Homo-oligomer: A and B are copies of this chain.
Amino acid sequence: MLADKKLDGYLFVGISDILYLTGFQSEGLFCLVTAKGTWIFTSALLAEQVRESTSGVKLIVGQRLTVSLKELRAKHRLKRLGFDSEQIFYRVGAALATQGLLPTPNPLEALRIVKDAEELDLLRRAGEITASAVQWMIPRVRAGMTEIQMARMIRNQFEKRGASDIGFELIAAVGPHTALPHHHPTEAVLKKNQAVLFDVGCRVGPYRSDLTRTFYYGTIPAGFKRVYGIVESAQKAGFEAVRPGHRGGEVDRASRGYIEKAGYGRYFVHSTGHGVGLDIHEPPWIRDKSQDVLASDMILTVEPGIYLPGRFGVRIEDTLRVTSRGYEILTKGKNE
């Protein structure tokens, strides 16, 4: 893959990239991959942990990145080195560019985007735990519960069911808060006749899942019912566009087109989905004009939404696997 890009090596800095490459997860590391070996640059603080958790990797401890890189390049005749300009901060990147390193698209993306059997096993388990915890939660929702309480109840279910951790900061929203796509749970209390939205996911090992359910607590008004029906159909339209060879943009178009035709286009303020894996947001991108081509064993979400400010929002989201002919839903509850 490096040869394809005519590179002698590539400098990684992303936590998930380095985890994927070495099995060790931490902030503050750099990892240089070349045909002549793999080096991790670390502080003394982490050196012992890196040593214990990795194999076949050389360690450079407690030295300035730019200085030790220069030495390595001279010693091993590494001429063309790329670096990850999307994940390295400007100050460091500018010093690397001055040394002649090249800002280059991340070559791991193409590997990480398709999941192998072991990764799929963890992703499936994460999907099942997420779906079953939300299934457990919904009938237990009561007036008087706060958003923070509900988010914690779901998290505790994740843990009881064997998840390693939450997959991202869990969202629980009531009433008008459901109209804010990235709401943080507050002490707001659920009242009778309000919308409720959960956007939650767990981690199993380092692999994540992502699920959103919206429902109405009380007597469902016609306005909510209509919007819910549109979002549900828009999600199905998105599902049907998921298959090998289709582009991310086509899935987005399918869901978005449905919502636009129903007259709610301007209330669907985000992309239709995203890939899921070591990161909660990763390729393939399911958004307007995305050229990412879907293939078997890619994982992605389909999550259209309609948000009516000050009133309510509806989002329905599942995590899917691309199969040889279409899709498999990983976040389907057992009895759904």
Contact = CB atoms under 8 A, between A and B. Distances in A.
Interface stretch (A82-90, A125-133, A231-239): A82-90
A294 interface: no
Contact of A94 (B45, B90, B181): B90
Interface string A90-131: 111110010000010000000000000000000000000000
B91 A103 contact: yes
A180 interface: yes
A246 interface: no
A307 interface: yes
Interface stretch (A46-54, A138-146, A212-220, A247-255): A46-54
Nearest to A27: B182
Contacts of A103: 90-91, 94
B91 A89 contact: no
Given A49-B183, A152-B159, A44 B90 contact: no
A79 interface: no
A309 interface: yes
A221 to B, nearest CB: 21
A262 interface: no
Contact of A179 (B26, B48, B91, B93): B48
A43 B181 CA distance: 12
Contacts of A184: 25
Contact of A48 (B89, B93, B180): B180
A297 to B, nearest CB: 28
Please classify the interface of chain A as helix (H, G, I), strand (E, B), loop, or mixed, using the class held by over half of its residues: mixed
A270 interface: yes
Copies in the complex: 2
Contacts of A26: 182
Contacts of A97: 90, 94
Contacts of A44: 269-270
Contacts of A152: 159
A195 to B, nearest CB: 15
A182 B45 contact: yes
Interface in A269-306: 269-270
Nearest to A96: B90
B269 A45 contact: yes
Contacts of A182: 26, 45-46, 49
Contacts of A94: 85, 90, 93-94, 97, 103
A90 B309 CA distance: 36
Interface of A: 25-26, 43-49, 52, 83, 85-94, 97, 103, 152, 159, 179-184, 269-270, 307, 309
Q: What are the 3 A-B residue pairs with the smallest beta carbon separation, nearest first?
A: A90-B93, A44-B269, A85-B90
10 contacts: A43-B270, A48-B180, A49-B180, A52-B180, A83-B90, A85-B90, A90-B90, A90-B92, A90-B93, A93-B94
Given A83-B90, A86-B89, 14 more contacts: A44-B270, A47-B269, A48-B307, A48-B309, A49-B181, A52-B180, A85-B89, A85-B94, A86-B90, A87-B89, A89-B90, A89-B93, A91-B103, A94-B103
